[in-house]
Structure formats: C-alpha cells, structure tokens
Amino acid sequence: MSNVPPQNPYQQPDTYAIPQAQLVPRKDQTLAIISLVTGILAVTIGCPCLLFLPLSLISIITGLRGMQKVSLGTGEGYGMALFGVVFGVAALLLYGALYAVVFFSSNI
C-alpha cells in the first residue's frame, strides 16, 4: 500500500496555477501635468508678489523634461508638456516686461 491519502474528487487540486496577465507598463505623464498646471497658474495668478517667476520656471523645466521623456518613449503627454512650456514662457515674458516697464518708468 502507498502512503498517499485518497483524493476527494470534489476537492480543488493542490497545485492551482494563477495565470499571469501580461502587464503593459504605463507611461508616465506626471511631468507633463505638472508643467501644464503650473503654466496655467503662472499666467492666471502669477502677477502678485512675483509669483510668476517660480511658477513659470517650474513649468518650463518640467515641460522640457516631460517632452524629453516622450521622445525617449518612457512618457506621454507631449501636448500638455508643450502647452506648459508655452504658458511658462508667455508668463515669463509678459509679466517680466510688465514689471520692467513699471520699474523703469517710475519717476524718482
């Protein structure tokens, strides 16, 4: 006689293999979203307290890094990153010119 216990025909087999799904890695678009949000904030609320300067710089830097990730194939959101860079540059030029006119036109 063997030492194997009798198996119940209604019992689940001991070796049940869970099928592994083929997971496709998701591409990251965090930098593009950060660029777009900070670019919009730089244009809309960036004027008081020179807040446009850090917001537009963050928007430009993260937008360029986001576009670089898209070109390398590890990210997505090229349009968002591009518009973030455009908004950041526009805010930098617009408010920079505005503050320069105000600063240099004061008569002291």
25: confidence class by pLDDT, cuts 50, 70, 90: confident
CB-based contact 108:60 (threshold 8 Å): no
Give the pTM. Answer: 0.74
Q: Cα(85)–Cα(16) distance, rounded to whole angstroms?
A: 52
Residues making up the chain, counted from first to last: 108
pLDDT of amino acid 58: 97
**Is the pLDDT at 90 greater than 70, yes or no?**
yes
Q: What is the mean pLDDT of residues 29-41?
A: 96
44: confidence class by pLDDT, cuts 50, 70, 90: very high
Q: Cα(30)–Cα(11) distance, rounded to whole angstroms?
A: 48
- For the chain, the average pLDDT equals 86
Q: Cα(17)–Cα(43) distance, rounded to whole angstroms?
A: 55
Distance from chain centroid for Cα 32 = 4
**Is the pLDDT at 77 greater than 80, yes or no?**
yes
Q: How many helices (H) and strands (E) does the chain have?
A: 3, 0
